[in-house]
Amino acid sequence: MNPVSYEIIDQIGVIAVNNPPVNALSFAVRSGIQAALRAAQDDASKAILIICEGGTFFAGADISEFGKPPKEPYLPDLIDEIEASGKLVVAAMHGTALGGGFEVALGCHYRIALDTARVGLPEVKLGLLPGAGGTQRVPRLVGIAAALQLILDGAPIPAIAAAEAGLVDKIVSGDLRVAALAYVQELVARNAATRRTSELNVPAADEQVFAATRIAVAKSARGQTAPLRIIESVQASLLPFAAGRKRERELFVDCMQDPQSVALQHLFFAEREAARIKDLPRDIGKRRIERVAIIGAGTMGGGIAMCFANAGFDVTLLEINADALARGLSIVEKNYAGSVQRGKLSEEDAGACRARIHGVTDYDALADVDLVIEAVFEDPQLKKGIFAKLDAVCRRGAILATNTSYQDVDAIAAATGRPEDVIGMHFFSPAHIMKLLEVVRGEKTAGDVLATVMALGKKIGKVPVMSGVCYGFIGNRMLQGYFREAQLCLIEGSTPEDIDAALYDWGMAMGPISVADLAGLDVGYKARQALAPDQRGDPRSYRVPDALVAAGRLGQKSGAGFYRYDPATRAKSADPEVMQIVEREAQALGIQRAPIDANEIVERLIFALINEGMNILDEGIAQRPGDIDVVYAYGYGFPAWRGGPMHYADTIGLNYVIERIEEFRERYGSNNWQPASLLKTLVANNSSLARWAE
Ligand code: CAA
């Protein structure tokens, strides 16, 4: 079916597009618009209106066409043709006019939008630049500085703000089609000019802005190439339009061919795919969730309560006594004050969210809730006791979830008479900020419970990924080998700064040693103590952490861990005392310390992640490689522009990965290094994870 229709209504040629779900500018849409535009030039219409059906104006180029041979008409040429039209062309926007979609509107002579619409150029998030004239037309309309901000930020802005800035001409409410037709009639009646943005001059700007923005971007978008190309492309808007457009095109092609863009596109689709459970029908019925209860008002419980309150849910927060409850609620209060201070929430909205959280100390208050999330500390007996209580108190059909990071969800479910209603919801700290939600499917978890929780995760603004039951689920299980190698590098010859710098420079949000200090060294210590000695991994890898804990160095919270922290500013500095401990422990183990180069540090840590990811896939703990990538990009500070550990493995080649792992096995022993059997199989078949996942 042709997604583009054309008809003349009251002398206006209306080009209407209907290409669900988001009216992406696919080949069929582009060619349909071109045909209609050409037909309109010679017919009885006096002006042309471009409008979309469904939930949104064009949400951009069709990303699923990227990487395939491009087909004419190309979007930039189509937009130039729209702008060159002898008859007036008007764009009518609703929903989200994004990327190439907004660039279509910028090529039109006038733009009208619903007051609820949002517009923007999110290409940077896909490692691209707005390559259909966006970097050339936006500066002509709003100036260099505002254009750089809009395009580098990538976040959509309300159409009303866009109108104030000069990107949209008219804002309306109600029926867009009716309002847009009236607007075009009005333009025709007053003989409005065919305003061509490409013919405008870019407002004069201080050229220092480019250098300053480059410096800012080197920090805020560390390691990324697209923002630098965006700056160059916007700078090219100072040239005559045709020359600027040519440079924009070259830079766009550079972006397209850059592995960073491929990685970011992979994550875009992986995130959406992760929401789908392979063995559940898409239309499976879901349970109604309106009232939510959280057990435990500690850092996690309070943060989870905020997530739900922020999304409009009624939240009951339970603690064991009034003191603990008051302490928990005061932290929530402080977090909301922080959000107001940082401009994330208005005073009024923060007050409304806070008012949705009701503190209680009695389990009877949970009798009617639809979902309970237990968020107490990691003590399996305590958790089982709570689930037995919930089983007695909660109504039939309520979903009972645990926020455990490591424990066996099946064992917790077995403490109830309704294991089918039990599930894991593993939030990441700080829970009201971090986007990842691991949804842990127990052996007996009912399909509708799983589907409900996956959908609910999205509703509260999280990125939900399903994991099967195992120690640490997807994310924390993989982290064990990563942390093991960080500690082994330390005791074998590196310093904490060497290790952190190697991973940070490679793109991780934070080095692993700093992460350990942030999480608290006592947390890892207690987790180890709860395991049998043969489950704790290589004993050499926790010699130093154990010694630091014994010395009262618990990480940031005690002012010292692997680093020393300034009590006032929390600024960290290297601590010679730590190196004395490291050297002492190395000597006790008979290790001759020798420096390790940054590349080897990175490969040992990252390949340990990849290898365990392979095991996780083989065991069916994760549904797909892309799910693991989403977990790492959203929950563990893995650079999104590398696509996540599994995509990265494909990018550098599984042959190379196995070669290095085998070398590590030779050098460091087979206890820590055994190539995963899936890795061996894929290499033997000359395959990749992407092909395996198809
Ligand atoms: N191309 C192809 N498919 C797209 C798409 C696009 N531009 N945008 C969204 N989709 C698909 C999604 O993959 C999803 O498909 P499935 O249902 O099969 O998973 C479906 O549309 C719905 O998307 P969401 O689940 O994300 O729905 P939402 O309502 O939460 O969000 C949205 C809608 C705000 C438009 C969001 O999808 C989005 O941000 N899309 C990307 C927009 C974008 O980046 N546009 C720029 C493209 S690059 C470009 O245009 C280059 C250029 O200048 C030449």
DSSP state letters, 342-409 = TTSS-HHHHHHHHHTEEEE--GGGGTT-SEEEE---S-HHHHHHHHHHHHHHSPTT-EEEE--SSS-H
Closest of 402, 322, 397, 399 to residue 359, by C-alpha = 322
Nearest residue (by CA) to ligand 1, atom 22, is 21
Q: What is the mean pLDDT of residues 569-574?
A: 94
Instruction: Return the pLDDT at 523.
Output: 87
Residue 131 Cβ < 6 Å to ligand 1: yes
Instruction: Return the pLDDT at 444.
Output: 98
Instruction: Return the pLDDT at 378.
Output: 86
Distance CA 112, CA 103 (A): 14
b/e code 596-614 from CB counts within 10 Å (16+ = b): beeebbbbbbbbbbbbbbb
Residue 78 Cβ < 6 Å to ligand 1: no
Question: 627, 465 in Cβ contact below 8 A?
Answer: yes
Residue 274 Cβ < 6 Å to ligand 1: no
Q: What is the mean pLDDT of residues 474-495?
A: 97
Q: What is the pLDDT of residues 514-560, one digit of tens each?
A: 999 998 999 889 888 888 888 889 999 999 999 999 999 999 989 99
Distance CA 21, CA 104 (A): 18
Domain segments of the chain as ranges:
4-256, 291-467, 475-693
The angle that helices 347-355 and 299-310 make with each other, rounded to 10 degrees, is 110
Distance CA 438, CA 630 (A): 10
Instruction: Return the pLDDT at 316.
Output: 97
Joined together, the tokens standing for residue 507 give 């793109």
Residue 64 Cβ < 6 Å to ligand 1: yes
Q: What is the mean pLDDT of residues 23-44?
A: 97
Distance CA 509, CA 529 (A): 29
Pocket probe mutation, ligand 1, options 63, 119, 266, 277, max atoms within 8 Å of Cβ: 63
- Position 154 confidence tier, pLDDT thresholds 50, 70, 90: very high
475-693 in CATH: which number? Answer: 1.10.1040.50
Q: Is the pLDDT of residue 434 over 90?
A: yes
Instruction: Return the pLDDT at 213.
Output: 97
Q: What is the pLDDT of residues 241-273, one digit of tens each?
A: 999 999 999 999 999 999 999 999 999 999 999
Q: Is the pLDDT of residue 75 over 90?
A: yes
Q: What is the pLDDT of residues 314-366, one digit of tens each?
A: 999 999 999 999 999 999 999 999 999 998 899 999 999 999 999 999 999 99
Q: Which residues are catalytic?
A: 103, 123
Residue 114 Cβ < 6 Å to ligand 1: no
Instruction: Return the pLDDT at 377.
Output: 87
| Rounded percentage of the chain residues whose pLDDT exceeds 90 | 94
Beta bridge partners of 399: 371
Nearest residue (by CA) to ligand 1, atom 24, is 272
Distance CA 520, CA 555 (A): 5
- Position 482 confidence tier, pLDDT thresholds 50, 70, 90: very high
Lowest mean pLDDT among 99-108, 204-213, 283-292, 483-492: 204-213
Beta bridge partners of 110: 90
Question: 194, 187 in Cβ contact below 8 A?
Answer: no
**DSSP characters for 550-571?**
HTT--BGGGTBSSSEE-TTT--
Instruction: Return the pLDDT at 205.
Output: 84
- For the CA of 126, the closest atom of ligand 1 is 44
- Position 1 confidence tier, pLDDT thresholds 50, 70, 90: confident
Pocket probe mutation, ligand 1, options 22, 75, 262, max atoms within 8 Å of Cβ: 22
Q: Homologous superfamily of 4-256 in CATH?
A: 2-enoyl-CoA Hydratase; Chain A, domain 1 (3.90.226.10)
Nearest residue (by CA) to ligand 1, atom 45, is 60
Distance CA 71, CA 589 (A): 64
Q: What is the mean pLDDT of residues 637-660?
A: 98
Q: What is the pLDDT of residues 170-185, one digit of tens each?
A: 999 999 999 999 999 9
Residue 535: its H or E element: none
- 66 CA to centre of ligand 1 in angstroms: 13
- Give me the chain's average pLDDT, please: 96
Q: Is the pLDDT of residue 425 over 90?
A: yes
Residue 319 Cβ < 6 Å to ligand 1: no
Q: Is the pLDDT of residue 622 over 90?
A: yes
- 230 CA to centre of ligand 1 in angstroms: 21
Nearest residue (by CA) to ligand 1, atom 9, is 22
Question: 336, 357 in Cβ contact below 8 A?
Answer: no
**Which of the 8 DSSP states describes residue 423?**
E
Burial class, 590, CB count within 10 angstroms (exposed 0-12 / middle 13-18 / buried 19+): exposed
Beta bridge partners of 560: 555, 564
Q: Is the pLDDT of residue 642 over 90?
A: yes
Q: Is the pLDDT of residue 19 over 90?
A: yes
- 38 CA to centre of ligand 1 in angstroms: 28
Instruction: Return the pLDDT at 66.
Output: 87
- For the CA of 122, the closest atom of ligand 1 is 44
Closest of 524, 521, 517, 523 to residue 496, by C-alpha = 517
Residue 154 Cβ < 6 Å to ligand 1: no
- 457 CA to centre of ligand 1 in angstroms: 19
**DSSP characters for 33-70?**
HHHHHHHHHHSS-SEEEEEE-TT-S--SB-GGGTTSPP
Joined together, the tokens standing for residue 521 give 């060294």
Instruction: State the greatest distance between any 2 C-alpha atoms of the chain, in Å, as a whole number.
Output: 91
Distance CA 524, CA 542 (A): 9
Instruction: Return the pLDDT at 198.
Output: 97
- 22 CA to centre of ligand 1 in angstroms: 6
Class of domain 291-467 as given by CATH: alpha beta
Closest of 356, 348, 354, 400 to residue 375, by C-alpha = 400
Instruction: Return the pLDDT at 388.
Output: 97
Q: What is the CA radius of gyration of the chain?
A: 28
